[in-house]
């Protein structure tokens, strides 16, 4: 066997060995690629599932926020309705027929138990019912000596009764406000039931 044959044999063996290594490397590369593909698919599925979970969480948060905002808006409307009802009550009393209004105020003055003092009304009531109110209130109080003040109050109606340093504020706004506290729970129950 000559050098050429030995060289050819070495080259043939080396080529065969190299081809084997290349085939083995290709096989390993294909196996790694398949494994990477499976891992990528698993990761994609996990990320997709996590994305769906995250989207559901975000959707639920948005839904809860929208429901909360809707409840806030409903509450604001109901609070406004309550405020409107209170304002309507004040307007109703202020616009009562003069005889009934005078009787109402005279009764409220008598309830104070004060027999002597100065009665302050708003300008409209002072002119319309002032003198009659003082007369009627004094009639309801045994020994009543109330007088009508020249001063007026800034209110929609009602009165302020001054007796020395003491002052009783029974403006319509104050009267309705005190009743408002008592009826608020009932009104809220009716408004929230609707």
Other CB atoms within 10 A of residue 41 CB? 10
The C-alpha atoms of residue 138 and residue 118 are separated, in whole angstroms, by 12
**Residue whose pair of structure tokens reads 């406000």 in the numeric block:** 177
Three-state DSSP state, 97 = coil
For residue 81, tell me if it sits in a domain.
Answer: no
Rg over alpha carbons for the chain, rounded to the nearest Å, is 46
* Pair (22, 108) in one structural domain: no
Q: Which two tokens stand for residue 164?
A: 């020395």
Q: 19-41 pLDDT, tens per residue?
A: 787 888 788 888 888 888 888 88
- Other CB atoms within 10 Å distance of the CB of residue 144: 18
Range of the domain at 152: 96-193
pLDDT, tens digit (0-9, with 9 covering 90-100), for 51-84: 888 888 988 898 888 899 988 888 888 788 888 8
Do 140 and 63 share a structural domain? Answer: no
Q: Is residue 103 part of a domain?
A: yes
Q: Kindly report whether the global pTM for this prediction surpasses the value 0.75.
A: no
Separation of alpha carbons 4 and 22, rounded Å: 26
DSSP tag of 53: H
189 in the same domain as 109: yes
Same domain, 64 and 101: no
């Amino acid at each position: 066997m000559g050098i050429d044959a030995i060289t050819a044999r070495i080259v043939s063996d080396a080529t065969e060995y190299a081809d084997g290594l290349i085939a083995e490397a290709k096989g390993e590369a294909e196996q790694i690629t398949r494994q990477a593909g499976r891992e990528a698919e698993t990761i994609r599925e996990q990320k997709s599932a996590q994305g769906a979970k995250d989207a559901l969480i975000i959707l639920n948060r948005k839904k809860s926020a929208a429901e909360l905002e809707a409840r806030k808006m409903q509450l604001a409307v109901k609070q406004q309705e309550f405020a409107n009802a209170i304002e309507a009550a004040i307007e109703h009393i202020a616009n009562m027929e003069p005889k009934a209004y005078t009787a109402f105020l005279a009764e409220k003055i008598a309830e104070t138990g004060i027999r002597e003092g100065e009665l302050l009304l708003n300008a409209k009531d002072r002119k319309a019912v002032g003198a009659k109110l003082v007369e009627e209130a004094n009639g309801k109080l045994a020994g009543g000596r109330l007088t009508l003040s020249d001063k007026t109050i800034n209110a929609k109606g009602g009165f302020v009764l001054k007796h020395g340093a003491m002052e009783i504020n029974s403006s319509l706004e104050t009267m309705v406000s005190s009743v408002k506290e008592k009826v608020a729970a009932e009104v809220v129950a009716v408004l929230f039931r609707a």
